[in-house]
Amino acid sequence: MRTKFQEQLDALIDRLASMCHLAGQAIEAATDALVLADLPAAERVFDLNEQIEALRGPCEEQAMTLLALQAPVARDLRQVITGVHLVADLSRMGGLAQHVAESVRRRHPKHVTSGEAEQLLGRMGRLAGGLAGLAEQVLRTRDPELAAELDRRDDELDSLHHQLLDLIQDPAWTDSVTVAVDVTLLGRFYERFGDHTVAVGRRVIFLVTGEQLRSNLSIGVDQQ
Judge whether 158 lies within some domain. Answer: yes
Residue 130, φ and ψ in degrees, nearest 5: -65, -40
More confident residue, 70 or 208: 208
CATH number of the domain encompassing residue 42: 1.20.58.220
∠ CA 145-89-73, nearest 5°, is 70
* Range of the structural domain that residue 66 is part of: 2-209
pTM exceeding the 0.85 threshold for the entire prediction: yes
Q: Does residue 123 have a pLDDT over 70?
A: yes
More confident residue, 69 or 218: 69
Q: Does residue 224 have a pLDDT over 60?
A: no
Judge whether 219 lies within some domain. Answer: no
Average pLDDT score over the chain: 90
| Least confident span in 32-36, 71-75, 171-175, 201-205 | 71-75
Return all residues near 116 (Cβ < 8 A) that are at least 6 apart: 167
Judge whether 141 lies within some domain. Answer: yes
Judge whether 138 lies within some domain. Answer: yes
User: Residues 86-115: what's their mean pLDDT?
Assistant: 97
The structural domain count of the chain equals 1
Judge whether 165 lies within some domain. Answer: yes
Judge whether 78 lies within some domain. Answer: yes
